Chains A and B, each alone.
Chain A
Amino acid sequence: MKNALKVAEWEIKRNLKNKAFIISLLLTPFLMLIFGLIPTLLAKFETDQDFTVYLRDELGVFEEIDLQNLGRFNLIRTTDEPETIKNAIQGGKNQAFVIIDQESLTEGRITVYTDSEGQGNLSPLNQILQTAIKSRMLKNFGLTDSDIALLNQPYQLNIVPISTDDDRRTIPEKIIPAVFAGVLFLAVFTSGTMIFQSALQEKKDKMVELILSSIKAEELMQGKILGYFVLGLIQVGVWLLFGIPAAQLYFKIPVLKYLLVPEMVPMLFFALAGYLLYAALFVAIGATMEDAQSGSSFQSIVILIPMLPFFLIGPIIVNPSGIIALVGTYFPLTTPGIMLARLSLSQHIALWEIILSGAILLLTVWIMMKLAGKLFKVAILMYGKNATFKEVVKWLRY
């Protein structure tokens, strides 16, 4: 164990001194922030533009328009001839011209003439005009203003499941553990990839023999797994250090309060077990390869294993207790990702489910560690080529 600690310390120090690691460590949260915020910012920028709509009203619907709730639309009533207005707005920007006449009623169509560029999203205008035309017609039928208001009122489905208080959680209460689960899984995944690179590098740098004449192969493997676990923690730590204050400031949400919930205990457990599982898998596979570019299809498949939960995540978000969620929960290679998702999405996961899937996962981790140890020991000393599936099976039997 003492030697494993030395290896771990070396791996940690070496990465912390490595510019590439530091840059990716600091850049990742910014990149995530940028990719997350830029589309919303751009959309906001786009929708914030004022839009002038000239309305030629031949039916008298203008009085029915709720001028307080026009949003970015600036409605101007005009009596000019259509051709004149069309010519006027042609060269401008963010301008449109609408005629509402008897034809609009009979054809059921409202024609909007816009300038040649930047029409933007005009569907709110549709809503506004429709409501106005309908109100006008209802008034013609002799309904009172309050009747019309009642008829125009939109209805929303308000779903309240009876058995739980799950959905009484506010959106941030649901989102934050899910985001945290995502961060954990991302860290598990990147650490796994790094440990794979490290096993590969060990071989490429041809240090293995020198190291193995000093310590046992198992100690080298354990040291690597431990070292990259700490590096993963450092990653999560740094990300949270940026993420939590950013979220607190930007969304005004008490993030920490939402994180310190009971579900966090099993979530951390599944993240840790998941790391051990993928680390064992990756360190062993890395040892069987000569370089990263020329892995066989068998090796590429193994590397894709941690991605499996992503294929299942869609149905699980829709129904965190559905059949796909159940399958994903008890299939050990997907357990960590799926349980992280389910625990963050739903509050009614039975304790026995957590314990059973956790036990299966732990057993798998133990078996995987044993196999990885065996494979690592043989494979790390083989130079010159990528191991084939057959060879891997043979080495596991040694």
Chain B
Amino acid sequence: MSVVLKVRDISKSFGKSTVVDHISFELNKGEILGLVGPNGAGKSTIIRCVLGIIHPDSGSIEYFLDRTSGLNPSKLGYLPEERGLYKDARIIDILLYIASLKNYPLDKARQKAEEYFAKLDLKGKDKAKIEELSKGMAQKVQFIASIIHEPEFLVLDEPLSGFDPVTQSIFIEEIKNLAAKGTSILLSSHQMNMVESLCTRIFMINKGKRVLYDDLDRIKDRYGSYKCELTGNNRIQDLINLPHVIRVEQDGLKSTLHLEPNISPNDFIKRLPPDLEIKELNITRISLHDIFVNTITGGFSK
């Protein structure tokens, strides 16, 4: 697999605070890499750095787009988290303006726009102004604006926020399509279920530093792969003392037991004491959401 983006040891400070602290990662062709982390972790700064909007204080960013190693903005697409478009301009004019800034042929852009309008239920709206559209429609237009020039490298920052479930699934399909056609995507989001369904690899940061960077599967293997949801009247101390349990959350009769890494459900069930009250029992593989929360709050270190 060929690498399209190589970020090596970049740091960025604003005044006295270091926002990005020695970060390195790579993005492969046709891959969707999830960039996750809590608010203020430095995701936006990393994104702005790889897009060339700001420059890191140290470290290097190499691009392998269009057979050149420099940054070629024409091959780059970006859907910022801060959503907006010129409110008083016609949709088609905005899309063509952006295509022209990306040096994309305008007749092709017009044709692409038509295709997406049809696909995203915006047909006949090309001459409407953004201020005349609903919020969801405006976001669709913005999504089109970020991909109309067929970028090789696409950065999506919270791409699905504000969409209804139907539109969300349309966009998830569209993002998968783009990756399948060879677009390399850096996806930043707090919606862990979406990250889980789209990304093959995860880069997690906290306070500007890397905390996780691996294949999603391997991450799941590494971090206590299972959790057990138990309904029944049990004391929390008894649950914590159960074999293989590292952490318990209790809410009334419902308890969530986080299991030690590499413990199979069989091993866990075999050693459950007979006096445990079980009304319901669910054992599931730990989700990215849990890994995220545990990693950031330090829940993995017992």
In the bound complex, residues from chain A placing their C-beta under 8 Å from that of B89 are: 14, 17
Q: A6-B101, A381-B48, A394-B15 are in contact. Are A214 and B146 (CB under 8 A)?
A: no
Contacts of B142 in A (CB 8 A): 210
Question: CB within 8 Å of B: which of A1-48?
Answer: 3, 6-7, 10, 13-14, 17-18
User: Is B216 close to A, CB under 8 A?
Assistant: no
| One of A201, A210, A394 near B98 (C-beta < 8 A) | A210
Task: Kindly state whether residue A215 has any CB partner on chain B within 8 Å.
Answer: yes
Interface flag for B76 (CB, 8 Å): yes
User: B281 → chain A, closest Cβ, in Å?
Assistant: 47
Would you list the 7 A-B pairs with minimal beta carbon distance, nearest first?
A: A206-B84, A209-B80, A213-B78, A214-B101, A213-B51, A206-B82, A205-B84
Q: Complex formed: what's the CA distance from A269 to B113 in Å?
A: 44
Q: Is B97 an interface residue (CB 8 A)?
A: yes
**Besides A206-B83, A214-B73, A214-B101, 13 new A-B residue pairs in contact (Cβ under 8 A), listed by A number:** A6-B97, A6-B101, A204-B84, A209-B78, A210-B80, A210-B146, A212-B51, A212-B53, A213-B73, A213-B78, A213-B155, A214-B98, A215-B73
The residues of B that contact A159 with a CB separation of less than 8 Å are none
Asked if B100 is at the interface of the complex by the 8 Å CB criterion, the answer is yes
Give the A interface residue count (CB, 8 A).
23
Q: Can you report 23 residue pairs joining A to B where beta carbons are below 8 Å apart?
A: A10-B97, A13-B93, A14-B86, A17-B89, A18-B88, A201-B86, A204-B84, A205-B86, A205-B87, A206-B80, A207-B85, A209-B78, A209-B82, A210-B80, A210-B98, A210-B145, A210-B146, A212-B53, A213-B52, A213-B78, A214-B101, A381-B53, A381-B54
Please measure, in the bound complex, the distance between the C-alpha atom of A116 and the C-alpha atom of B146, giving whole angstroms: 76
Q: When A14-B89, A210-B146, A394-B15 are in contact, do A383 and B101 touch as well, CB less than 8 Å? A: no
A142 to B54, CA, bound (A): 98
Residue in B48, B93, B101, B146 whose beta carbon sits within 8 Å of that of A211 in the complex: B101
Q: How many angstroms between the C-alpha atoms of A55 and B245 in the bound complex?
A: 120
Q: A14-B86, A205-B84 are in contact. Are A210 and B53 (CB under 8 A)?
A: no
Mostly, the A contact residues are: helix
Q: Which residues of A have CB within 8 Å of B100?
A: 6
Complex alpha-carbon distance, A383 and B44, angstroms: 13
Closest to A383 in B: B82
The answer to whether A207 and B101 have CB atoms under 8 Å apart is no
Q: Do B101 and A215 touch across chains, with their CB atoms under 8 A apart?
A: yes
CB distance from A20 to the nearest CB of B (A): 9
* Distance in Å: Cβ of B27 to nearest Cβ of chain A: 16
Chain B CB count within 10 A is highest, among A10, A14, A201, A209, for A209
Contact across chains for B78 and A207 when beta carbons are under 8 A apart:
no
Interface contacts (Cβ under 8 Å), in number, total: 60
Select A3's contact among B83, B86, B101, beta carbons within 8 Å.
B101
Residues of chain A within 8 A (CB-CB) of B52 are: 213
Query: Among A7, A209, A213, A383, which residue has the most Cβ atoms of chain B within 10 A?
Result: A213
Chain A residues in the interface with B (C-beta under 8 A): 3, 6-7, 10, 13-14, 17-18, 201, 204-207, 209-215, 381, 383, 394
C-alpha spacing A69/B96, complex, angstroms:
72
Within the complex, the shortest CB–CB distance from A194 to chain B, in Å, comes to 14
In the bound complex, do residue B102 and residue A214 qualify as a contact, i.e. CB atoms below 8 Å apart?
yes
Residues of B within 8 A of A (CB): 15, 48, 51-54, 73-74, 76, 78, 80, 82-89, 93, 97-98, 100-102, 142, 145-146, 155
CA separation between A206 and B142, bound complex, in Å?
11
Q: How far is the CA of A14 from the CA of B84 in the complex (A)?
A: 17
Residue of B nearest to A19 (CB): B88
A18 cross-chain contacts in B, Cβ below 8 A: 88
| Bound: A14/B101 CA distance, A | 15
Q: Which of A205, A213, A394 contacts B85 (CB 8 A)?
A: A205
Q: How far is the CB of B99 from chain A (nearest CB, A)?
A: 10
Complex: A383 Cα to B89 Cα, angstroms? 22
- CB-CB < 8 A to A213: which residues of B? 51-53, 73, 76, 78, 155
Q: B52, B53, B85, B86: which has the most chain A beta carbons within 10 Å?
A: B53
Chain A positions within 8 Å of B146 at CB level? 210
CB distance from A207 to the nearest CB of B (A): 6
Give the CA-CA distance A215 to B146 in the complex, in Å: 14
- A309 and B88 CA atoms in complex are apart in Å by 34
Q: Write out the residue numbers on chain A whose beta carbons fall within 8 Å of the beta carbon of B97.
A: 6, 10
B51 to chain A, nearest CB (A): 4
Find the A residue at minimum CB distance from B96.
A10
Bound Cα distance A209, B155 (Å): 12
- B63 → chain A closest CB, angstroms: 13
- Minimum distance in angstroms from B43 CB to a CB of chain A: 13
Please, which residue of chain A has its CB at the minimum distance from the CB of B54?
Answer: A381
Which residue of the partner chain A has the closest CB to B157? A209
Instruction: Report Cα–Cα, A206/B82, bound state, in Å.
Output: 6
Question: How far in angstroms is the closest Cβ of chain A from B125?
Answer: 17
- In the assembled complex, the Cα of A301 lies from the Cα of B269 at a distance in Å of 73
A201 to B76, CA, bound (A): 24
Cβ contacts under 8 Å, B54 to chain A: 381
A201 contacts across to B, CB distance below 8 A: 86
Tell me which of A17, A206, A209 contacts B53 (CB under 8 A): A209
A168 to B82, CA, bound (A): 64
